[in-house]
Amino acid sequence: MRENDRHTATDADYDAVVVGAGFSGLYQLHRLRDELGLSVKLVEKANDVGGTWYWNRYPGARCDSESHIYCYSFNDEIMEEWQWSERYPRQPEVLEYLRFVADHLDLRKDIEFGTEVTSATFEEDTGTWQVETDDGETLSSQFFVTAVGCLSTPYVPDFENRDAYQGETYHTGKWPHDPVDFEDKRVAVIGTGASGIQTIPEVARADIEQLTVFQRTPNYAVPARNRSLDDEDWEEIQRNYEEIMAEAHDDGSGLPFDTARETAADLTMADIEAVLEPRWEEGGWRFLVAFEDLLVNPETNEKVSQYLREKIRGAVDDPETAEKLVPTDHYYATKRPPLHTDYYDTFNRDNVSLVDVTETPVDRFTTGGIRTEDGEDREFDMVIFATGFDAMTGTLLRMDIEGRNGLTLEERWADGPKTYLGLGVHGFPNMFTVTGPQSPSVLSNMPVPIENHVEWISETIGDLVEGGTPYIEPTGVAEEDWTEHNMDLAQETLYTTVDSWYMNENIPGKPTVFVPYPGGVDIYQDTIREVREKGYEGFTLADSVDDLGRRGESPQLGVFEAMELLHADPDMDLADLMEMA
Ligand code: NA7
């Protein structure tokens, strides 16, 4: 089946099956197919490319990264031919961009649209992945690459009696493709994360009758200050594009912005304002990177948070509403820091009200709306859930992935995700997870870690193919070490001081662990480059599946591994384990 038949490790339909046609999957398909000459099938649930930008089409949906850096940098033609129209692109423009890329690279012919992966099983006899889809097909491949995004399984809280509600309901992450009619409607929005903060002002501006916002945790939103980009702006960007992109790829957050100072701990509030005010006026994430120790030093962060609290108080007319909107229970940016356009002004409108559910909890849904615990029945024609996602692990766990020894990913991750470098999982040979858990992903400007991962995965697959080595898998020991390292790094930051989806805590029942890698994209990139240079340190490269099983536990069989083997094979006894160790 290979276009380039250089090795014969397996008899599979494809060299690689890739899941997901967003930023990650499109580039992955291109690299494996066009640069390595492999046969690749990409499976995509939606009817078009776009990933998150296909689904998140709620009013106001816009990228919080600036357009000129929220894009690929690997292809000069794409960079020259595409011109963004606004500082922050709206959802339709990002979607259009990804369509343009797919057409430019002629990717569609290898994508199966409207098809969902229902399971993926590593078959030990043949040493291949068997990928089943909802149309009853089974695709076999040597490599299995998940490019499913970090925020792709919408989450709707299980409010009591939710299904009895008879009005319209929408989730921001699964917005309909047909226009939604807001005219004269009484609308509720639940949730004030990045999506809620974008959609609330747009909904309020529509011809609604009234809007009620249900807020659990107030957020620190910084103005985006969007504007259109004209030809002159674009020429300026083009002149420096290579440098800008190189800076982004060399930065901890994937952003080409300078910090102002190492710390604010030694500054007075007046000094801090002098640093922050220009960044506040300029808008966007230059504000976020002003002080290097923002996320590790509580003194710096408290001062920045204080600055933001005053801004919120100054923007909202009614002092009581303002106080509800002021976050006091967490440090700035320890939850995903949103940008906003007119968010706080929205609460100065006569037809917009705020319900703080920590004071006035939702009791239940009724047929006509929402009853709060103060006994008030609030009637709505429409409820919009801006309640987030089963982030980072949710989509992977729903895919029913099974590795060696019949071990499922769900079992493997019962106590939280365990990976090596966020790229692979012990027990799951030849599986790669683009922007997987324990890689920088959501803590950075996403296209940067995406390109970084896709390139590493492609180079690795290239090395295996070239060297005639059919299998690769992280060792159990390397995985344990990386998982511990990730959590240790997180403990040094302020991220772990608050419940958030970074901490896996927005979904009831999920284990509390810090999921993304908090050490910075730059350091992370160096780490994975070095792993490759050292001959894939921490991975087992093997000629056979048996060999993987034998050598993958090196240097010695850990307790976790022993438990796993016992779980997978009830016939195994202590003597067998000793021999393997
Ligand atoms: P987020 O950031 O997870 O925000 C979800 C919001 O929904 C947040 O304000 C939650 O409050 C709120 N929420 C969740 N459950 C409830 C219940 N039961 N009651 C009331 N409020 C609730 O998702 P977004 O879609 O906004 O942003 C995700 C990413 O998408 C974003 O980073 C961008 O990259 C795009 P909480 O803070 O948990 O108290």
Q: At what angle do helices 23-30 and 91-104 cross, to 10 degrees?
A: 10
What's the pLDDT score for residue 568? Answer: 66
Cα(41)–Cα(400) distance, integer angstroms: 19
Q: Is 501 in the pocket of ligand 1 (CB under 6 A)?
A: yes
Task: Estimate to the nearest angstrom the gap between the alpha carbon of 411 and the chain centroid.
Answer: 22
Q: Using most ligand atoms within 8 A of CB, pick from 216, 219, 495, 503 the residue to mutate for ligand 1.
A: 216
Average pLDDT, rounded, for the chain: 94
Under 8 Å CB-to-CB from 170, ≥6 apart: which residues? 58, 176, 180, 382, 383, 384, 385
Distance 508 CA to ligand 1 centre (A): 13
By percentage, how much of the chain surpasses pLDDT 90? 92
The protein residue whose alpha carbon is closest to atom 4 in ligand 1 is: 193
pLDDT band at 570 (very low <50, low <70, confident <90, very high): low
Q: How far is the CA of 437 from the centre of ligand 1 (A)?
A: 19
Residue 578 pLDDT: 53
What's the pLDDT score for residue 5? 41
Gap from CA of 397 to ligand 1 centroid (Å): 20
d(CA 269, CA 276) in angstroms, rounded, equals 10
The three-state DSSP-derived secondary structure of 566-577 is HHHCCCCCHHHH
Of all protein residues, the one whose alpha carbon is nearest to atom 38 of ligand 1 is 506
> CB under 8 Å to 37, separation ≥6 — which residues?
2, 3, 4
Decide: 172 in ligand 1 pocket, CB within 6 A: yes
Give φ, ψ of 83 to 5 degrees.
-125, 120
pLDDT tens per residue across span 234-275 = 999 999 999 999 999 999 999 999 999 999 999 999 999 999
Tokens of 184: 């004269």
Question: Could you identify the residue written with the tokens 């649209």?
Answer: 113
Distance, in Å, from the CA atom of 217 to the CA atom of 196, rounded to the nearest integer, reads: 12
- As a whole number, mean pLDDT of residues 113-138 equals 97
Please tell me the least confidently modeled range out of 3-17, 118-132, 441-455, 493-507.
Answer: 3-17
Range 319-339 average pLDDT: 98
Q: How far is the CA of 197 from the centre of ligand 1 (A)?
A: 10
- Is ligand 1 within 6 A of the CB of residue 217? yes
Q: Quote the pLDDT of residue 498.
A: 97
Spacing, Cα 195 to ligand 1 middle (Å): 8
Task: Tell me how far the alpha carbon of residue 23 lies from the centroid of ligand 1, in angstroms.
Answer: 23
Q: Is the minimum distance from the CB of 94 to ligand 1 under 6 angstroms?
A: no
Largest CA distance in the chain: 75
Query: How many angstroms separate the Cα of 571 from the Cα of each of 126, 301, 378, 404, 560?
Result: 23, 55, 60, 16, 18
Instruction: Check residue 8 and give its pLDDT.
Output: 40
> What residue ranges do the domains of the chain occupy?
14-153+391-543, 162-385, 553-581
State the distance from the centre of ligand 1 to the C-alpha of 58, rounded, in angstroms: 15
How high is the pLDDT of residue 9?
A: 55
DSSP assignment of 390-452: -TTTHHHHHT-EE-GGG-BHHHHTTTS---BTTTB-TT-TTEEETT-TTSSGGGS-THHHHHH
Q: Cβ(386)–Cβ(191) under 8 Å?
A: yes
Q: How far apart are CA 1 and CA 15, in angstroms?
A: 8
Task: Look at 156 and 547; give whichever has higher pLDDT.
Answer: 156
For the four alpha carbons of 211, 391, 63 and 338, in that order, the dihedral sign comes to positive
How many angstroms separate the CA atoms of 222 and 558, rounded? 47
Tell me the pLDDT tens digit for each residue of 266-300.
Answer: 999 999 999 999 999 999 999 999 999 999 999 99
pLDDT-based confidence at residue 11 (cuts at 50, 70, 90): confident
Strand partners, 86: 228
Tell me the pLDDT band of 549, cut-offs 50, 70 and 90: confident
Of ligand 1's listed atoms, the one at least distance from the Cα of 159 is 18
d(CA 388, ligand 1 centre) in Å: 4
Provide mean pLDDT across the span 107-114: 98
- In this prediction, residue 550 has a pLDDT band, given cuts at 50, 70 and 90, of confident
Residue 145: closest CA among 244, 6, 36, 243: 36
Comparison of pLDDT for 555 and 103, the residue scoring more: 103
Question: Ligand 1 mean position to 391 CA, how many Å?
Answer: 11
Q: Is the CB of 192 under 6 A from ligand 1?
A: yes
Q: What per-residue confidence (pLDDT) applies to 560?
A: 45
In what helix (H) or strand (E) does residue 303 lie, and over which residues does it extend? Answer: helix 298-315
CA 264 – CA 577 distance, rounded (Å): 54
Rounded Cα gap, residues 104 and 125, in angstroms: 39
Tokens 């120790």 sit on residue: 293
Q: Of 467, 487, 477, 484, whose CA–CA distance to 539 is shortest?
A: 477
List CB contacts of 546: < 8 A, sequence separation 6 or more. Answer: none
- The span from the CA of 542 to the CA of 536, in Å, is 12
Residue 229 pLDDT greater than 50, yes or no = yes
Which pLDDT score is estimated for 283?
98
Q: Whose CA is nearest to atom 19 of ligand 1?
A: 216
Mutating to test ligand 1, I would choose from 158, 336, 354 the residue with most ligand atoms within 8 A of its C-beta, which is 336
3-state helix vs strand vs coil in the chain, percent to 5: 40, 15, 45
In terms of Cβ atoms closer than 10 Å to its own Cβ (0-12, 13-18, 19+), residue 232 is exposed
Nearest atom, ligand 1, residue 357 CA: 20
Half-sphere exposure of 121 (CA within 13 A, CB side): 12
158 in helix, strand or coil?
coil
Work out which ligand 1 atom sits closest to the CA atom of 362.
19
DSSP state of 86: B
What are the CA-CA distances from residue 206 to residues 58, 60, 184, 221, 233 (Å)? 13, 11, 9, 22, 31
Tell me, using a 6 A CB cutoff, whether residue 256 lines ligand 1.
Answer: no
Of 526, 494, 499, nearest in space to 291 by CA: 494
297 in contact with ligand 1, CB cutoff 6 A: no
CA of 193 to the centre of ligand 1 (A): 4
pLDDT at 551: 79
Task: Please tell me the distance from the alpha carbon of residue 97 to that of residue 83, in angstroms, as a whole number.
Answer: 9
Query: What is the CA(176)–ligand 1 centre distance, in A?
Result: 19
**14-153+391-543 — its CATH code?**
3.50.50.60
Nearest CA to ligand 1 atom 16: 387
Q: Strand, helix or coil at 356?
A: strand
Percent with pLDDT over 70 in the chain? 93
174 in contact with ligand 1, CB cutoff 6 A: no
User: From the CA of 416, how far away is ligand 1's center (Å)?
Assistant: 20
CA-closest candidate to residue 225, choices 172, 279, 291: 279
* Residue 156, token pair as written in the block: 């709707």
Residue having the nearest C-alpha atom to atom 27 of ligand 1: 194
Sheet strands (E) in 252-381: 339-340, 352-356, 362-365, 369-372, 377-379
- 420 CA to centre of ligand 1 in angstroms: 28
Beta carbons within 10 angstroms of residue 266's beta carbon: 10
Pair of tokens at residue 346 = 């929205």
Q: Is residue 146 scored above 80 in pLDDT? A: yes
- Which of ligand 1's atoms lies nearest the C-alpha of 191? 7
Write out pLDDT tens, residues 45-88: 999 999 999 999 999 999 999 999 999 999 999 999 999 999 99
Whether residue 443 has pLDDT greater than 90: yes
